[in-house]
Structure 1
Amino acid sequence: MVSLAGKRIVLGVSGGIAAYKAAALTSKLTQAGAQVNVILTHNALQFVQPLTFQALSHQPVHTDTFTEPDAHVISHIELADKADLVLVAPATANIIGKMANGIADDMLTTTLLATKSPVMVAPAMNVNMYDHPAVQANMEKLAEYGYRFVEPGVGLLACGWIGKGRLAEPEEIVEAVRAFFAQQEKGNVRPLDLHGKRVLVTAGPTREKIDPVRYITNHASGKMGYAIAEAARDRGAEVVLVSGPTALKKPDGVRFVAVESVQEMFDAVMEHLPKSDIVVKSAAVSDYRPKTVHAHKMKKGDGPLVLELDKAPDILKTIGERKTTQFVVGFAAETQDLIKHAKSKVERKNLDMIVANNVLAEGAGMGSDTNVVTLLTRAGEQVDLEKLSKREVADKLFDAVLLKLSERPLSELS
């Protein structure tokens, strides 16, 4: 876990009901070792008080561009210059509009316009406001500027509506901040080139019940799929992760759908498929399932046991049949004739791209932290990647997907 010790974070709080969560966020960032300099907009002052944030951050709180406690500096310029990150949480539709259009009429917006530091935005508003074309266009513009987003949650909003627009929980925002600094330290902060895209990812194994205590499954850990979901999130996409049972921590900032059986995964994928732009099916799904699921534990007999299996729904094939404009990526985990089987799968399942790996190769097995893969496209292009971390593979995959979406050859993959 990357440390926030010594990081200087300017936290801008705008005027929405979610401003109360910014107090907990200030506390958690401060406890993590960051120096948090809070700027409250005039509208935020209708919901929260400066003293709260001063007590939690142990720093002066700024509310007015023209209040200059230190005559030796201009406050908004000093904050802008020295920040390691400017974080706006909550970010209302109003403040997002100002940010996108260069309006600087208060302490927060002047600081944002003056800073060359990275900016992270955590929107919070009514679902209809969030979906409004003007707000979406403003967020697109901010993404083009290089601003990063912490996606809002879905649920009951203060206004009574149910939908997307809830401020991400303080813990999720802190994790997003940690993830950003971790990428920055590794020198692999990616552009927000997936902003505006909806990415559907499947991960992990499925379990097919035999009886209440036994099931059929496989060795998939979910690490590759989770890395793909996190990479898409960090590049600005709105991510739905449909995951079978794993021991992994649920990634922050994605919509997480937990499933167990192949039927449950099939239903979840088909529900989200129509609204997806990119589908990456990395889950290792059962090909067969028990024909009969026993209501009680089967007792051990003296002789051998014959278990009759039925073919399970083919999720990837169905995606290929139902897709319209979606770019679909499949996975082929093989132990022999890797390229032959992968090419066949691309054709049989109507895929745009496939990620093929020999699970017997060193550093490429299920459960490992690395992978060795070959990317193949429907057009017959092929790129072999060296052994990389699964997160690096995920980013290379999205580099390749974006190349194909722009109709450029995979030979340009760096």
Structure 2
Amino acid sequence: MNLNNIYNIYFIGIGGIGMSALARYFKANGKCVAGYDKTKTDITDSLVDLDIAIHFEDSVANLDNRFLNPETTLVVYTPAVPKSHMELTYFKNNGFTVLKRSQVLGLITQNTFCLAVAGTHGKTTTTSILGHLLHECNVPLTAFLGGISENYNSNLILNGTEVSVVEADEFDRSFLTLHPDMACITSMDADHLDIYGDASALIASFKDFTKQLKPNGKLFVKNGLPLKGITYGIEDDADYAAQNITIENGTYVFDVKTPKTVLKNLQFNLPGRHNLSNALVALAMSVEYGVPIQQLAKALASYKGVKRRFTYQLKTDNLVFIDDYAHHPEEINAVHQAVREMYPNKKVLAIFQPHLFSRTQDFAQDFAKSLSQFDELLLLDIYPAREMPIEGVTSEWLLSLMTAKNKKLVTKDTLIENIKKSTADIILTIGAGDIGAEVSKIKKALQNES
């Protein structure tokens, strides 16, 4: 398919983080863009500000006539949209080209030098660091991010079209539409078992992804994963290794051993060894791409992070409030490690909203163990997203599995009053559902208390 012959792009699920990045990209490239989403959000508001028409009712009657010509219109949808969606059904039954987001990403990147970031954890942060490093070093790139970059206040970095930086998403095996020149795999922990069935099928899919590399492509793998490639790791004997790590005023200061040299006294501002690992592989990919090493230190030090990835909402001498997207037990463990490293001996309250009934069921014991590490826990109901309830899989059941003594089930209506009762020094909101919408309310309430 030749995108040059397409003038109109219609998105079903345009408010999704990955979909909205594509919408921004096509709008910036002169296409006529519009879309549907079921919910109005900050993201849809930002797209409307770009003069992208969006409606929130699933009805063919809402479609602009410009998008009713199958010869000049491409329809992009997300797998999260139900098959019964009326607009999607109309387009499929009337001769339109209808593609998943991942297929469109494959089309955009096929004629670029593509750097892809895969892994069950760390994709968004690693992609945003890599995009930032290359942008700051004047590489002509387009980076599609799975989160809102604090540096660019966007999920799209647009600085040219020769190079593309993308997340390679394992959900629905989407990453098998990509053919990268360079790729990294940050982790292969079991997840999305509603799609894969078991961990072995997930691992097999990652191995299939490595075969998608172009001839002479380079694969970067976290040390210890059962794959061959350029290795990276923290304080170990990997090809790229972070060494002599210290923390100065909340900032990591460290050296990086590369296959050819040692980079001294690099600075990185995001807390957590998992984020340091993400920065390390982004640095390694930049070096192997050919960016001058002396430019990378300054670029890395100026990286600010991604919204909802260990994002500070309040930071005072008496109280710290952090918001994070973590929705898998290993991600919660990483957040716990980061907060304990940065704030030793402080009392920590975690507020968690489970995401998906299937994920809660598949990893219940691991969730219980990871969440029990915090001093206090407030647990919200499960966010269903695309799923129907599973009998017996509830937040009450998950809470009963936890060994933590100071734990409580709460609703959004009672959340703030329960937070105010806490004596914690550090407050964390964690989850991938709509808990993010509560963050500003919590922040306002805490500010009024102080």
| TM-score, with length taken from structure 2 | 0.25
Q: Which has the larger radius of gyration?
A: 1
